[in-house]
């Protein structure tokens, strides 16, 4: 029974890692948590850190290798700290709040004078999320497996009009909103839906699965994409002169195996940003796409503190057509599809403390 309890705790920590897209597909840390089944009431604090560097460009699933060779690629570096406080009300119900703190940088040529590489930065609190969770089956009798549903709200607490200087000429700069991929917030109030599950074959071997979706009904947030310049007639026509407020999704599944206090997990994670929102319009500038990653993880469980490290690495990266790409293709008869930069891997390290 004790081993089953520890396995459930490990599942909690593993699923508690937030989804973070590895590049210009601007998915901030918004994946769900999975509180463990327990009779005990109380608080749990999770601190999860992530870092990645994206620099490889893709149009569809085809890598634009020449961008790196010629030095015209965009380089994004992202660090994120998510602080999540979870309160177990009883053995089935729990509530949680997640506060993200973000530190982003973006180096490019085309956003500046086209010849010299410069860097823009952003830092601050991201969009805060509140969630409620419920186990569908009584944990007192469902020891081998269970299903948890979660429903939440994401508030637009992050700055979605963060500004920095762009160097259009050698001796001058202009202040403008930074790229969508490094904006701390998206400007929308969203609804989150989650499904978390597990099944134990034995005291050591188990499987897990989860699904997360963020629906952002707001269509655009009004933030300019011109980086301090003037929008072109084409950008205005196809609504890419302002930033979109897109939906997000993430799903993962895998296997975990426990040896003493260590749990070794491995699975597949798919995360993305759709070109069309579930609720509301889909216009405005966005870089839709998805990443399929292999996700190995190691967790160490002490009495009240647990540590987890994971390094998901990309298996497939695909920058899909946006709403504006599709409308331009239909209007001109020529296929239009933008690009996005992705990382090869993501480093994630977390700590959970039971109070």
Residue 114's alpha-carbon distances to 175, 207, 271, in angstroms, are 17, 49, 32
Q: Give yes or no for residue 30 having a pLDDT over 80.
A: no
Q: Which domain holds residue 290?
A: 2-354
Q: Which two tokens stand for residue 104?
A: 């982003």
H and E: helices and strands count for the chain: 4, 20
pLDDT of residue 170: 75
pLDDT tens for 193-224 read 999 999 999 989 999 999 999 999 999 999 99
What pLDDT band is residue 321 in, cutting at 50, 70 and 90? very high
Top pLDDT among 154 and 355 is at 154
How much is the mean pLDDT over the chain?
90
Q: Give yes or no for residue 335 having a pLDDT over 70.
A: yes
| Sequence-ordered list of residues with C-beta below 8 angstroms from that of 330, at least 6 positions apart, any chain | none
Average confidence (pLDDT) over 341-351: 96
Comparing 35-49, 219-233, 245-259, 340-354, which segment has the lowest mean pLDDT? 35-49
CA dist 187 and 245 (Å) reads: 7
pLDDT tens for 81-131 read 999 999 999 999 999 999 999 999 999 999 999 999 999 999 999 999 999
Residue 148's alpha-carbon distances to 80, 92, 208, in angstroms, are 26, 9, 11
Please give the torsion angle defined by the CA atoms of residues 161, 163, 167 and 173, in that order, rounded to the nearest 10 degrees.
Answer: 120
Contact 43, 87 (CB under 8 A): yes
Top pLDDT among 354 and 24 is at 354
- Could you tell me the sign of the dihedral formed by the alpha carbons of 106, 19, 310, 9, in that order? positive
pLDDT tens for 311-320 read 999 999 999 9
What pLDDT band is residue 140 in, cutting at 50, 70 and 90? confident
pLDDT of residue 31: 47
pLDDT tens for 43-77 read 999 999 999 999 999 999 999 999 999 999 999 99
Q: Is 317 exposed, middle or buried (0-12, 13-18, 19+ CB in 10 A)?
A: buried
Backbone angles phi, psi at 126, to 5 degrees: -90, -160
User: pTM here?
Assistant: 0.90
CATH of the domain at 194: 2.40.128.130
Count of structural domains within the chain:
1
pLDDT of residue 171: 79
Residue of 184, 79, 169, 176 lying closest to 128 (CA atoms): 184
Distance of CA 226 to the CA centre of its chain: 25
Q: Give yes or no for residue 20 having a pLDDT over 60.
A: no
pLDDT of residue 3: 44
């Amino acid at each position: 029974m004790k081993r089953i309890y520890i396995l459930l705790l490990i599942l909690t920590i593993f699923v508690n890692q937030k989804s973070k897209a590895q590049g210009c597909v601007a998915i901030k840390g918004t994946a769900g948590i999975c509180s463990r089944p327990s009779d005990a009431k109380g608080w749990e604090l999770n601190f999860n850190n992530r870092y990645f560097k994206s620099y490889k460009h893709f149009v569809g699933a085809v890598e634009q290798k020449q961008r790196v060779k010629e030095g015209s690629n965009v380089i994004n570096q992202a660090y994120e700290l998510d602080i999540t406080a979870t309160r177990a009300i009883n053995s089935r119900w729990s509530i949680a709040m997640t506060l993200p703190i973000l530190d982003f940088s973006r180096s490019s040529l085309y956003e500046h004078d086209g010849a010299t590489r410069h860097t823009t930065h952003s830092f601050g609190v991201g969009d805060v999320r509140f969630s409620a969770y419920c186990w569908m089956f009584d944990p007192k009798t469902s020891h081998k497996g269970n299903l948890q549903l979660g429903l939440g709200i994401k508030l637009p607490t992050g700055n979605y009009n963060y500004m920095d200087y762009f160097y259009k000429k050698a001796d001058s700069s202009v202040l403008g909103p930074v790229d969508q991929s490094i904006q701390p917030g998206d400007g929308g109030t969203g609804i989150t839906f989650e499904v978390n599950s597990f099944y134990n074959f034995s005291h050591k071997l188990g499987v897990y699965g989860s699904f997360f979706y963020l629906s952002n009904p707001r269509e655009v947030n009004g933030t300019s994409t011109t980086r301090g310049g003037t929008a072109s007639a084409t950008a205005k026509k196809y609504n890419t002169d302002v930033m979109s407020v897109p939906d997000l999704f993430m799903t993962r599944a895998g296997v975990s195996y426990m040896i003493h206090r260590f749990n070794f997990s491995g699975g597949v994670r798919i995360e993305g940003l759709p070109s069309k929102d579930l609720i509301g319009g889909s216009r405005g500038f966005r870089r839709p796409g998805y990443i399929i990653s292999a996700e190995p993880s190691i967790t160490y469980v002490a009495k009240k503190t647990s540590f987890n490290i994971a390094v998901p690495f990309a298996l497939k990266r695909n920058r899909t057509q946006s709403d504006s790409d599709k409308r331009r293709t239909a209007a001109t008869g020529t296929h239009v599809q933008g690009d996005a930069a992705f990382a090869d891997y993501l480093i994630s390290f977390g700590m959970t403390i039971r109070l």
